[in-house]
Structure 1
Amino acid sequence: MDKFCIITNVEKDEKFQITHMIMDYLTAHKKKYVVAVNENIDLYRKEGFILPSEIPDDMDCAIVLGGDGTMILAASDLVSNDIPIVGVNLGTLGFLTEIEQNMIHESLDALFDGNYKIESRLMLEGSIFCNEKEVYSGYALNDFVINKKGTSGLIRVKIYVNDEVANTYLCDGIIISTPTGSTGYNLSAGGPIVAPYSKVMIITPICPHALFNRSIIVSQEDKIRIELGKRSKNPDEAIISLDGRLRMELQTGDAVEITKGKKKTKLIKVNNNGFFDLLRTKLGEDKE
């Protein structure tokens, strides 16, 4: 690899110490690079920094500095660029960030020498319908989440899989997750952990008011439709988000359709740690 993009979360690398260390190492090895920041771009234009949306398509790799949240946002920003990404963990758990800070130089050498693998991760593609008209479509690496609005009561959501009713939930919300996202909000809501190479989507209710409160796992080839129902004379109100972004209001009668995305996220692996090794380490279960 010869052309790199560094995407920096300015809250995680506030003084750009890690950013400049990587820039210096790339310069020393005669590699080309650009630097993108996730906010306050006007403060950094004079340093030559750009926005993630301005990253050239000919980059060999994007190095993302931050936590899993930064990685997820980068995946969304680069969905049309087809650039593989690798993360440097400046956060806490770091399921997606491959490189720890003490391994940066060694990992960069592996990228220079071609000693890495690329994993393709499923992305969800969803369309939002209000008054039966499509008003938005977008991608998510982790999940689509519908939550009740504010402190209002429970919402009623009807789930269809391939136009067949799968279940109706009276709940605080619903999560449609990829295997990659299964260790995120889905896990916190009691959903299953799914290996990232699995070809499935996970439907998990949030605090359902029912005896049946289990997740439903369907094929990635299926089509999921979620309709916001009605509990009383007043319309139900909810908020939908894609990987924690967008946040669009929904009400009774609105719907969301979710399928396997046409595009995938490419994650670079520079070490040999398997998913379950990572899982035990990050969740504190590896005591041997």
Structure 2
Amino acid sequence: MPDQVTSVSQGIDPSAVIHPTAVVAEGARIGPNCRIGPWCVVSAEAVLEEGVFLQSHAVIDGQVHLGAGVQVMSFASVGLPPQDLKYKGEPTRVEIGARTVIREHATIHRGSVGGHGVTKVGADCLIMCVAHIGHDCELDHHVILANNVMLGGHVHIADTVFVGGGAAIHQFVRIGRQAVIGGMSGVEADVIPFGAVMGNRARLTGLNLIGLKRRGFPRSQIHVLRGIYRSLFRSSGVFEERLAAAEAQHGTDPVVREILDFVRTDSRRGLCRAGREIVDDEDSAEG
């Protein structure tokens, strides 16, 4: 960034470096070693913790808290008003966790009074180009949204979920931990932890076996999860009876318990059900 200047006014740490064309409103809190590039706009209510980097033309609007080391790339915007006709300018906010990267043209809207008043993105997330996070969404840690992903309002995504490019997630959908969403999918129902879904409209195609292996899940645990998945989503009979049988057999296993608790939690969207199954050849060969 050529012709950088350092400012000590407006609550700006003296080690922060701000380009002279950037507009930082009085009242903004800029932490140590932050860098704000050309033509950026930072609102008076914004808080940037240590080491935040705003590339050129980034916009931080309203009550936005950026955790340490967050990066916001060119033409991305964080904290603009929700796309909600009921919103009347109430003081809602956005919180972004440490080290999260928000790539070019991504948009993250502040919460609404119809939700919890806050949109949250956890630590170590990657929000790729042109992705959109609607009002009142909550993303936990290590979530990856590929290019052009669209999240409707009030979506909740748990840790280590990957959402493929161009996928659209309906408002109020829950996505469980370490699930994977195939590119171009349209997800209108809740996705169980460790599940894999794809299609329009998306259906369960199995478990995120690659993700489980990469995360170091033991083979014995993966076999238990495959058995639970098949008994719940690939077997005949009444679903509640299958759920009770799975709980009686494996209810003390913490990973199985996570799936069962997710299924039993009240939902506005229902569960994503099974469609065409995609078999992992290596794992199926092991029986």
TM-score, structure 1 normalization: 0.27
When Rg is computed on C-alpha atoms for both structures, the one with the higher figure is: 2
Return the structure number with greater strand share. 1
Relative contact order higher in (CA < 8 Å, ≥ 6 apart)? 1
Normalising by structure 2, report the TM-score: 0.27
